[in-house]
Structure 1
């Protein structure tokens, strides 16, 4: 087993891959990193019988061949025992590799087990020869649909499916979804057409209603979008669907309504928060807290913490004591900015529960009762993203729109002497990629897009990428030099020191943009045609939440060249 895969769940997934691949004579070792990536969502995404089946088979991976019969394989398939059926069809395939039925049913099982990559690798070429069979056509379409990087390939197969099953709402919805993910603001008419057709066959389906509402909002028909969302709200919407509606208000700058509606987010499966902090003690903004201890707890990403700590000084004026629980890597910059005057600052992994690993902070701490929060005496708690609602934030107020965080001056000077070239060139910090989660929100830009800027005279670029995406720098031409500062960052105080040493910062929507904005540094924020809901202002001289960040927004999906030209002109205006 490669790279010492020790975890039991990893072994289970490893053995499934190994057994299926061995059925086709493949002996290539499975990469442990990809296994671990899958394991993180294993129990949520795979049916329970998958786990149960592996519990029985860990010691003996191979099923006794005498037990393998077609009737038993089909019986397990029909009863939904997909993992057992997959084992059986794999063994049957070993004996008869020309049997298309075995390939078809094994592929179906693997898709049920969320394994489209295996289907693509081993079966897809053969299956695509037989798409006159509608069942096989569905398998091909679903295989591509199961992989984000294959959405475009899925489209023609779904378009063929709706010709054969022109009253299947799910196919029309999936096709609309695919067009939206692949083309964004392009082909909007087709996206709306297919979603409208889906709604025709499923008029009470809130998933379809909400999706169509989003498409109309993007097309500029806000009244139609609101009409559809209101229709959804009268139809017993799920918390996830209510969150979708809240985002429309946030995007419109109606922050009070948007964040009030967004309070339901912890009833969804998408936002984590410690279970020990219950609704019973969640501050409503009305109760007197002048004699109370209040916990403010972070949620979601680093950028969210940087954005919303701005409210802590105000909160400290109305509460007896404030305890801020935030990610460990943010604490140094908060202390440099004097936030320990307003609150006690703690982190789970350093102060509350030292047994927790940093990698677990957004999972085990939040979803279980292991956060250690019950050990901290308090009267109320505030999820960090409740703060704009509680303080009735609005675009015409924004009292803390920058300058509320700062790096220690002595550390900045030390950083400058150690890492920044001493010359008269304009120095620009660059961050082009957020976390892996931002991949699905189309915020990121390939570093090669910035090549015209890297070749400007009397300008130096410093990369702030502190993750695997810094490897993109290695692919730049030899005549281009971008200094990689990210590799020496230990925490966000180091990032803040680097920001302070720059003449300006160019960044996509990620924590660096939030940090630079919070520090009041001249920054250019780059946005795709559709941006995250909190950015209600992506035109003009600032982005609302931060006065020092000037937004540059792509007019079409991933159309960055015009923005790079604008940046060239903006850089020429910078004076040393």
Structure 2
């Protein structure tokens, strides 16, 4: 049977060849590679298996099979395929390299490093292997080794886009943001339209407090593949800060709860410019944000959106307002729970007790790309439970991670949304938290909040300072070295002991 006329030329060629030579394994290997290149991975798997049925001694068929299995995330079988290839051809660089990728995908990072090292002994000038090895060290938070690998890659190919970009990211994670900027700039020099380089440069600039350039670069996020899920293809234009008097504007959430809470502060400013403001946000925030000054209506994501004249993603509002460090809106509190909610939670927790009431949160969203660094876990923060003269209330609704202690008061089963959380926080004296939405909520309510941060924080917390320009009621406790939550909690405990009621 002849292939269709509109098929990829390579697939057409090898399909004809395989039909003509059904006993030739090379024909099926060629077809498998062509299908792989076209993204037809399941079909490619079948072709490589056919080739191996014809000749089990074909190392290239095992490698091709492994490559296709890796694409469909069948990492276990991919490892087996690569090992079979190497049993036939021990010096096959591609098999060693991709075995490393499959092992890394299985989180068997030490074995992955061994595979990449074997590949580099065979091909020491292969930039791709140096980058893969660096990526694995990054996953393991071995930043010095990651930087070394990326520098090896750029010494071989000074304008390798991925190596330059990854080196910049690793240097930023080492808390060397100015050095990182050099490599962000090199990445953009190599490929001026590369969204990841612009976006990563934005995060570094914002971390350094360079908001003018940082917000502009931050708009490149909309060109990144992993942001397509957040992109809204509205027919109306995005607001750029121009005159909005008499217009209806839709402000829509795009990322996490904390982002929405942080930047909803701009809604009253837009309203004061004469606009009718509609907010679309996550369902768990909708009830709370209905009380925001200047907001005409609040919609949950998925509800029908009424007519509007223009829109603005909520994280683009600082760019529209040309916000710098000296012009951050701090009309706080800008988030408030209704009095009846505050009263109800006061009764639940016994608001009249003459003891210091401290709310704690120790973990963020486990799906967050940096959660392994920003969450301390209950084990670290539980040391505070031993302090006398105070009560500790859990604010950890999800991802509790073993958060059980005789002295931890947990009424979170009665929390249905962020309005409830705000009602609970309003009845506390202090909130101690890692970098989660709880920190933003407490700060937006003007509740005293102590924020515990990893060695390299998210951009919004800047560097070195113990306060936040976003939240006047916030005090920051930073790690002095990576992963050292123990010292941070110890400092928090010492500070707590000085403010006991």
Aligned to 1:199: 154
Q: Which residue of 1 aligns with 2:73?
A: 114
Matching of residue 180 in structure 1 with residue 138 in structure 2: yes
- Quote the Cα distance in structure 2 between the aligned partners of 1:180 and 1:464: 31
Give the equivalent residue in structure 2 for 1:232. Answer: 187
Confirm whether residue 556 of structure 1 aligns to residue 486 of structure 2. no
Deviation at 1:156, TM superposition (A): 3.0
State the alpha-carbon separation in 2 of the partners of residues 123 and 427 from structure 1. 58
| Corresponding residue number in structure 2 for 1:386 | 316
Alpha-carbon distance in structure 1 between the residues aligned to 2:134 and 2:31: 33
Matched, 1:155 2:129: no
Provide closer, same or farther for how the CA distance between residues 428 and 126 of structure 1 changes in structure 2, counting only shifts above 3 A: farther
CA deviation vs aligned residue, 1:415-459 (integer Å, no higher than 9, x gap): 222245864443222222222332545221221122321222233
Which whole-Å CA distance do the structure 2 matches of 1:526 and 1:130 have between them? 53
Distance verdict in 2 for CA 1:489–1:523, change over 3 Å: same
The answer as to whether partners of 2:279 and 2:295 remain within 8 angstroms in 1 is no
Inter-partner Cα distance in structure 1 for 2:76 and 2:455: 30
Question: Which one of the candidate residues 486, 491, 496 is aligned to 1:566?
Answer: 491
What is the match of residue 338 of structure 2? 408
Given that 1:312 and 1:343 are in contact with CA atoms closer than 8 Å, whether structure 2 keeps it comes out as no
Give, in angstroms, the shift of residue 338 of structure 1. Answer: 4.2
* Distance in 2, Cα, partners of 1:129 & 1:552: 53
Paired position in structure 1 for 2:261 = 306
1:522 aligns with 2:448: yes
- CA distance, structure 2, for counterparts of residue 128 and residue 461 of structure 1: 57
1:543 equivalent in alignment to 2:496: no
Residue in 2 that maps onto 1:264:
220
Q: 1:85 to 1:221 in 2, by over 3 A?
A: closer
Indicate if the aligned counterparts of 1:523 and 1:550 stay in contact, CA closer than 8 A. Answer: yes
1:337-370 deviation per Cα after TM superposition (whole angstroms, max 9, x unaligned):
443x443222233x41xxxxxxxxxxxxxxxxxx
Residue pair 1:438, 1:444 contacting (<8 A) in 2 also = no
The answer for the alignment partner of 2:4 in structure 1 is none
* 4+ long deviations beyond 6 Å: 90-103, 122-131
Residue 141 of structure 1, CA deviation: 0.8
The separation in 1 between residues aligned to 2:417 and 2:448, in whole angstroms, is 21
Task: Map residues 466-545 of structure 1 onto 2, 5 A cutoff.
Answer: 466-467=397-398, 469-473=399-403, 476=404, 480-537=406-463, 539-540=465-466, 542-545=467-470
Deviation string, structure 1 residues 447-493 (Cα, Å, up to 9, x no partner): 112232122223332222222x12522xx5xx644233333221100
Contact 2:82–2:96 (CA under 8 A) maintained in structure 1: no
**Is the partner of 1:534 in helix, strand or coil?**
helix
The answer (yes or no) to whether the contact 1:536–1:544 under 8 Å persists in 2 is: no
Q: Distance in 1 between matches of 2:301 and 2:286?
A: 12
Structure 2 Cα separation of the partners of residues 274 and 344 of structure 1: 22
Post-superposition Cα deviations, 1:136-188, rounded to whole Å, max 9, x if no partner, equal 433431112224x433442233233222211111111122222233225xx52
| Distance in 2 separating the partners of 1:509 and 1:94 | 54
CA-CA distance at 1:131 after TM superposition: 9.4
* SS of the residue 2:246 aligns to: coil
Describe the superposition over 1:519-553 as per-residue Cα deviations: whole angstroms up to 9, x where unpaired: 1111121111112222214532x122112221112
Q: CA-to-partner distance for each residue in 1:213-236, whole Å, 9 max, x for gaps?
A: 333445565554333333333332
CA distance in structure 2 between the partners assigned to 1:421 and 1:96 by the alignment: 77
Q: Hey, what does 2:347 align to over in structure 1?
A: 417
- Asked whether the 8 Å contact 2:357–2:392 carries over to 1, the reply is yes
Offset of 1:565 from its aligned partner? 0.7
SS at match of 1:309: helix
- Asked if the contact 2:261–2:437 (Cα under 8 Å) also holds between the matched residues in 1, the reply is yes
Which of 444, 464, 472 is equivalent to 2:375?
Answer: 444
- Would you say the 8 A contact 1:295–1:378 is kept in 2? yes
Contact persistence 1:294–1:319 (CA under 8 A): no
Alignment equivalent of 2:100, drawn from 138, 141, 164: 141
CA distance in 2, matches of 1:419, 1:118: 54
CA RMSD in angstroms comes to: 3.3
Q: Does 1:343 align with 2:296?
A: yes
CA distance, structure 2, for counterparts of residue 409 and residue 130 of structure 1: 74
Per-residue CA deviation, residues 248-297 of structure 1 (Å, 9 max, x unaligned), is: 2101112222112212221222224453325x6112213x2112221111
Measure, in 2, the Cα distance between the counterparts of 1:118 and 1:420: 57
Q: 1:250: which partner in 2?
A: 206
Partner residue in 2 for 1:453? 384
Q: Tell me the residue number matched to 2:241.
A: 285
Q: Distance in 2 between matches of 1:320 and 1:564?
A: 45
SS of 2:367's partner is helix
Q: Which residue, out of 169, 179, 198, partners 2:127?
A: 169
Instruction: Evaluate the alpha carbon distance shift between residue 155 and residue 460 of structure 1 in structure 2; reply closer, same or farther with a 3 A threshold.
Output: farther
Q: Which runs of 5+ in 2 are unaligned?
A: 1-7, 9-21
Against the structure 1 CA distance between its residues 401 and 550, is the aligned structure 2 distance closer, same or farther, given a 3 Å change threshold? farther
SS at match of 2:461: coil
2:272 is the counterpart of 1:317: yes
Deviations 1:12-66 (A, max 9, x none): xxxxxxxxxxxxxxxxxxxxxxxxxxxxxxxxxxxxx9xxxxxxxxxxxxxxxxx
Is 1:127–1:140's contact at 8 Å kept on the other side of the alignment? no
8 Å CA contact 1:507, 1:513 repeated in 2: yes
User: Does structure 1 retain, via aligned residues, the 8 Å contact 2:65–2:81?
Assistant: no
* CA gap 1:131/1:177 in 2 versus in 1, 3 angstroms: farther
